[in-house]
Structure 1
Amino acid sequence: MRKTATWLSALVVLTAALAWVLDRAFPLPQPVAPGVRVLAEDGTLLRAFPAADQTWRYPITPAQVAPVYREVLLAYEDRAFYYHPGINPLAIARAGWQNLKAGAVVSGGSTLSMQVAGLLDPYPRTLTGKARQALRTLQLEWHYSKDEILELYLNLAPFGGMLSGVEAASRHYFGKPAAQLSDAEAALLTVLPQRPSEWRPDRYPQRARRARDKVLRRMQALELWSEARVAAALHEPVAALPPEPPMLAPLLARRLQQQCPGCTDIHTLIDAGVQRQLQAVVERYRGRLGPRQSMAVMVVRNADLAVQGYVGAARFGDMTSHGHIDMTRAVRSPGSTLKPFAYAMALDQGLIHSHSLLLDTPRYGLRYRPHNFTGGFAGPVSATAALQRSLNLPVVQLVEHLGPQRWVSALLNAGLQLEGAGVQQPSSAVVLGGVGSTLESLVGTYTALAREGLAGSPRLQPHEPQQRRWLMSPGAAWISWRMLAHNPWRALSQVGETPWVLAWKTGTSYGYRDAWALGVSPQWTIGVWVGRPDGSPSPGDFGRQTAAPLLFRVHELLAQDQQELPQPASVTQAKICWPLGTAVQQTDNTAANCQQSHLAWLLNATAPRTLQQTTMLSQPPLLRSVWVDAETGRAVAPGCAQTGQMLEQSHIELWPQPAEPWLKPEWRRAQRLPQPADDCTRGRTGREVIMITGIEAGSHLQLPPGRTVLDVDLRVQGATGLLNWYLNGEPLAEQSGQRLSLQLRNSGDYRLSVVDRAGNTDSITFSFQRGSQPAAATN
């Protein structure tokens, strides 16, 4: 007896040792890593990527599956799952008897563990193969717990086509997660792995119904479900969606999947409902664009910088429009979209208020002379009008006061991505799009208008921290937002309508290559780009016409903001007067000097004076103190007064000299300043600065072919009364206006001078070349 026990013990030890050796020699195959799922904020599947074996498999645990599915699966497939060691002899014997009795294979004795072993290590349908399956099953039970084996089955079971695992099957056939399966759906997915190709509900709904109903009746026969419950499930139709994965935010999904190799579930902050509507709006809007044009749209929730909508291309995968390129991250010229940040910085520096007088006038004598989009000039304009109309010359005026290097450094410090030569050597051209940036970076910077001046980086995933950088004060942010929050259809708007809460700005890059529109409401910041990804121009497409309508449509589909942004305590409103630009109470002689009044937003109760051009060498002051004869109203210089003459001091506000051509005659300097009372005053009064325009100093003029005379139209800014013109010292005809039509016939160097009635002068030099004339024809 003792000897027998010894032999048995030795046999057990040898068997265990052999099993250990075999386990090491033939390790259990590991399942292929599942595919990648990119999920919306609420868990909705945005896009999936197949596993390495090209099957659609989404990871899931038993706790994440609907309890009814686990109940049906164990009842139908393996009721003793938690009790047998992987192989159930009773089930095998029962299946053998049923098959023998029927004369065909009508039942199998495989347990769930045996099925998992077969899925991990497929075997041939032979006795040797069955033996290998049995050994693999015991090996499986050795390494894994029952719940882990069940989890492997839930992830590996075949469900037809390239579907593997119950989660992928539920998503593709029913459009919902496995946690929401109904009784009938659970029954169908329980039996489908037995014959996945023959019982697919999307191809063979009648076969699938018969197989499903068999499972439902078994649940009643086992007295696990009531007759009424089974009857209700039997009445449920078999319907399946086409097994195609969803394609929401596909370029974002690809971006995150590439950034996270080895990840299975990637969570985003995308709102699935917003994303669906956004893609639908873009698809409809695509019809008005050319076949080579694309679009990008980004929607950010201001409260936490969460990206709720992301469209990187007009049509994902389209070869003609380069639909594989994510244009939210493409570096392009931002056009005029940087202009609001110049106005905001000027507000913080105390240079302007919302209705400061700025100049949209020609920049004579200056090296940098940009043009407006329309090609014309508006003359004197308010800061609000200049920003809303996206005029180029006023914002260049501001950047020159701020300093291009200082302004660009502030944008970079706030986190705005800027690239190109304009970053290393900034000039005033930067504000007009002379650098490169991305839609994503612009959207993040624009959020500062609704976030008390704090710019941020758009957040794509929940774990990303909120990165905030100071760009402007809360007051400057609010005033800038208010300046841009104007109704684009205000001409059609009704009195008493709800306030327009979307501040918006458009931009167009040089050569019509990029059309931009950015909008900020209290809740949302939206960015839109339209253009060709290859950088070629789209003639006639510009921001206001091409990108802005899409911006407004996107804003309409979002949850609407009901109120404006709260006004900071640092912002007040006051009446200001032009031309000086100061508040009414700061203006002397208000009746005469307040030639235009505006209701302006002031930061820290500051109403700065009107800015002049920083690059003009000599500029007459805008506020002039003059002593006048009380009786005649003529100017009298100090020291020139006669005995008994009554003098009064008058403070006269003057418009900037470059604005003269756009002013009413009575507002011009010649009419505003009193005439000298005598020669003594005329000699002591400071000279006014006048300027010849029409020919730049140092110009080289050439006669066009076929012409004998070059006609040049000239004007004078700031002149008073009759003008005396001199060409190379020789007088020309006296002019009563401020224009001269000069005719040039002979080549040479010229000096042109002008003197007005008050003795103010200006002079320029230029050269003229007739060029070679064609010889006369001969016969």
Structure 2
Amino acid sequence: MRRFGFFALVLALFTAALGRDAFDTWITQTKLPNVLPETSVEVRDRAGILLRAYTVEDGRWRLAVTTDQVDPRFIKMLVAYEDKRFFEHSGVDSRALVRAAKQALTNGKIISGASTLTMQVARLLEQSGTGAWGGKLRQIRVAMRLEQVLSKDEILQLYLMLAPYGGNIEGVRAATLSYFGKEPNRLTAAQAALLVALPQAPEARRPDTNVKTARKARQVVLDRLTATKTVTLEEAKTAHLEPISNARSPFPALAPHLSDRARRAEPERGVHRLTIKANLQERAEALAKASIQGKAENLSIALVLADHTTGEILAHVGSGGYSDDAGRQGFIDMTRALRSPGSTLKPLVYALAFDQGLAHPASLINDRPVAFGGYAPQNFDGEFRGELRVDEALRLSLNIPVVLLTEEIGPARLMAALGKAGVQAEVPGGAPGLAVALGGVGTSLEGLVQLYAGLAQGGQRKTLTWQFGKKLNEEETFLNRSSAWQVSHVLAGLAPPAGAAQMRLAYKTGTSYGHRDAWSIGFDGRYVAGVWIGRPDGTPVPGAFGGELAAPILFELVGLVADKAVPLPPPPPETLLLETAALPLPLQRFKGRHAVFQAAPDAPKMAFPPDGARLALSDAGLVVKVRDGSPPFTWMANGAPILRSVQTREAQLPLFEQGFVQLTVMDRDGRAARATIRLD
């Protein structure tokens, strides 16, 4: 009877108010609640597809929506079921109010309600209940004021954004993403009917907790709408048979690291657009996760794929799993972490050497033992190959030739070229040395991909971007185009790794000191990509090599966007395409600035042991080897001859005492090679 009294009072007040001049003033003076509710921050891909959304402050999913983003079928069903005269009344449906009051008077209880969609919006905006008569009167007043200041479309839009759908789900977009795994622009009759039914009792009818109740509520809606011919009988029959899922779909959470970065960059922005392609991003994340599954403990991975013709990043994976709790620290964006790049900077060194006329791909360079003060670089396998072509030295990723070139170019100039290419690079201690060429510098995966994008663009800096529609600054040249093409051509001559797709990529691998980082960076005529694998805490990963671990993933990553590689461009007209013998004499052999003091190419070289080696004593003595030179050889220890007239290139020296030993080998022409070793 209390509710009956309320209806009678509302009817009396409403009728009386209609006849008063003060009514309009009363409505106009209504203080409205905030009609711009907070909505979830969204991150979308280049086509507008939702990549990720964030809950609002109270942990609710409430996504912005407009009426044209919602299936018209749902809106038609909603209005027909909830408020059939919505487009005619001014916030309160007087006919419905009179009908409800009559039914209450006749039956002694409430038979039907009279709440309009506008009144429901008023309640949702103020988060007020529905039972108290004072609250209902307030809703009437707010509803009528809303009708004065907002259009019908804007009121409907507020309902679509605020209606409760159970749990922490508010609004039709959050509901369709959660219960159907899709946006609300295309719905079946069954889905639309369920969405109409849920806000009336959102907790009781939640399909993820009570499928039976949800199905029954959907049927009630369909039956009533069939009776009013809003839904055809055939549509209703089909809808009744459609199953209801009892599980909520997770909200999209693609490109989480990049989404977080976008939000930090512009915290006031409600919608962020990235250059990412959603379907490509999803496959790249799956590739990353699968690639480290079953591998070393706490291993992580990062991937970047971009279009180097535009600079737009198409896929960006910061780790193998954003919320991975297996100790991999998946929340860390490893695309930005500064790590040792291993051998991946070598192409830049060679390109600078070509740029400055110090060498040509067909030039000969000597892979021999060298020392620069206390720094004596070694090849990865400890071997020396003697004289070979520069392009072959790059393909084999030899250390000594690239250090020889770096010594001639100057480490500072190499660092300056990295800066011009847009690569952030930090040298421990701040003073770059020759070791920079071998990875003695901190760079990031994003930086290396940008460097290789510049190589692919003929030495023109190509700033990579993840912000869709962002205009990039004018690019800077850091290499001449023929040098960039020559290096690209050399790298494209590398065979794909075992088991990888047979596509032609210009690529380079790298492994940092102590096997802490495995890299592979490459490009074709359009796309550039990079892979990093390692542990976020920087601890070694025994047996991790860029060529074996990262390179196959690089080819898979590029394969996600193209079935076959886009051909590299032809050489620029000014490119010098000659064999060694046809090169100008100064380019036939790389000699360097100290060539006048260097031994002749055929002078003897200590093949074993290398300078600085630390070896264990043996009862059989010390095995030594010499390369080049002319026999017979004389072997000396600390200046004293211990073997003379040795015709072979291998000998056994009777050395049985601990300590440092300076070994010297001299050939018949008096030319010598030396190495200082320690015996333990």
Class of the TM-score when normalised by the shorter of the 2 chains: 0.7 to 0.9
Q: CA deviation at 1:379?
A: 2.5
C-alpha displacement at 1:721, in angstroms? 5.7
Residue in 1 that maps onto 2:94: 89
Cα distance change on mapping 1:556 and 1:610 into 2, 3 Å:
same
Identity of aligned residues (%): 36
Is contact 1:59-1:264 (8 Å) kept? no
Which structure is larger by alpha-carbon Rg, 1 or 2?
1
Distance 1:226 1:747 in 2: 98
Match of 2:365 among 358, 363, 386: 358
On the 8 A contact 1:304/1:466 being kept in 2, the answer is no
**What SS does the corresponding residue of 1:327 show, helix, strand or coil?**
coil
Corresponding position: 1:608 with 2:587:
yes
Aligned residue for 2:75, secondary structure, equals helix
Preserved contact between residue 716 and residue 739 of structure 1 (Cα < 8 Å):
no
Structure 1 residue 582 corresponds to structure 2 residue 581 = yes
C-alpha separation in 1, matches of 2:672 and 2:318:
57
Letter in 2 for 1:53: D
Equivalence for 2:301:
295
Q: Deviations over 1:382-421 (max 9, x none)?
A: 2232222221111111111212111211111111110133
| Cα deviation, residue 12, structure 1 | 4.2
- Determine the structure 2 residue equivalent to 1:277: 283
Q: Does 1:442 align with 2:448?
A: yes
Q: Normalising by the residue count of structure 2, what TM-score does the alignment of the two structures yield?
A: 0.86
Contact in 2 for aligned 1:747/1:769 (Cα 8 Å): yes
| Alpha-carbon distance, 1:478 to partner | 2.4
**One-letter code aligned to 1:392:** N
Q: Tell me what 2:5 maps to.
A: none
Name 1:190's counterpart in structure 2.
196
Pairing 1:550–2:553 present: yes
| CA positional deviation for 1:19 | 5.8
Of 68, 75, 78 in structure 2, the residue corresponding to residue 73 of structure 1 is 78
Q: 1:567 to 1:102 in 2, by over 3 A?
A: farther
State the match for 1:650 in structure 2. Answer: none
Unpaired stretches in structure 2, ≥5 consecutive residues: 1-16
**Structure 1: gaps spanning 5 or more residues:** 1-7, 588-606, 622-655, 663-692, 772-779
- Quick one: structure 1 residues 40 and 248, their matched pair in 2 at CA, closer, same or farther if it must change by over 3 Å? same
Cross-structure match for 1:531? 534
Match of 1:349 in 2: 356
Could you tell me how far apart the structure 2 residues matched to 1:753 and 1:218 are? 102
Which residue in 2 is equivalent to 1:637?
none
- 1:514 aligns with one of 500, 514, 517: 517
Whichever residue aligns with residue 311 of structure 1, its letter is V
Aligned length: 659
Counterpart pick for 2:345 among 334, 338, 345: 338
Q: Offset at 1:727?
A: 9.0
For residue 352 of structure 1, report the CA deviation from its aligned partner.
2.5
Match of 1:458 among 434, 456, 464: 464
Classify 1:348/1:733 alpha carbon distance in 2 versus 1 (closer, same or farther; 3 Å).
closer
Aligned partner letter, 2:141: L
Deviations 1:526-553 (A, max 9, x none): 1111111111111221212222222232
Equivalent in 405, 410, 421 of residue 398 of structure 1: 405
Contact 1:751 1:763 survives alignment (8 Å)? no
Among candidates 645, 659, 665, match of residue 735 of structure 1: 645
Q: Following superposition of structure 1 onto structure 2, how do residues 255-274 of structure 1 map, counting pairs within 5 Å?
A: 255-274=261-280
Matching residue's letter, 1:196:
P
Deviations 1:340-387 (A, max 9, x none): 111112222222232322222211575321222222223323223222
* Shift in Å, 1:327: 0.7
Superposed CA offset, 1:651-705 (max 9, x none): xxxxx2468789xxxxxxxxxxxxxxxxxxxxxxxxxxxxxx9797xx9x99999
Q: Which amino acid aligns with 1:582?
A: A
Q: CA RMSD of the aligned region, Å? A: 3.9
SS at match of 1:526: strand
Cα distance, 1:499 vs structure 2: 7.0
Structure-2 change in CA distance of 1:176 and 1:658 (3 Å): farther
Q: CA deviation at 1:113?
A: 0.9
* TM-score normalised over the length of structure 1: 0.75
Structure 1 contact 446–455 (Cα < 8 Å) conserved: no
1:541 to 537, 541, 544: 544
Relative to structure 1, the CA distance from residue 101 to residue 207 in structure 2 (aligned partners, 3 Å threshold; closer, same or farther) is farther
- State whether structure 2 residue 331 is matched by structure 1 residue 324: yes
- Deviation, structure 1 residue 711: 6.2
Amino acid at match of 1:501: R
Is the alpha carbon distance of 1:705 and 1:763 closer, same or farther for their aligned partners in structure 2, counting shifts above 3 Å? closer
Shift of residue 238, structure 1, vs aligned partner = 3.7
Larger RCO (CA under 8 A, 6+ residues apart): 2
Pairwise CA distance, 1:165: 0.6
Is the alpha carbon distance of 1:731 and 1:271 closer, same or farther for their aligned partners in structure 2, counting shifts above 3 Å?
closer
Alpha-carbon distance in 2 for matches of 1:491, 1:168: 46
Matched to 2:170, the amino acid is S
Deviation per residue, 1:180-222 (Å, 9 max, x gap):
2233322321222112222223343443333334333444433
| 1:361–1:379 Cα contact (<8 Å) kept | yes
Q: Is the 8 A contact 2:340 2:443 kept in 1?
A: yes
Q: Which stretch shifts more, 109-118 or 238-247?
A: 238-247
- The SS at the match of 2:61 is coil
SS of 1:511 mapped into structure 2: helix
- Which residue in 1 is equivalent to 2:598? 619
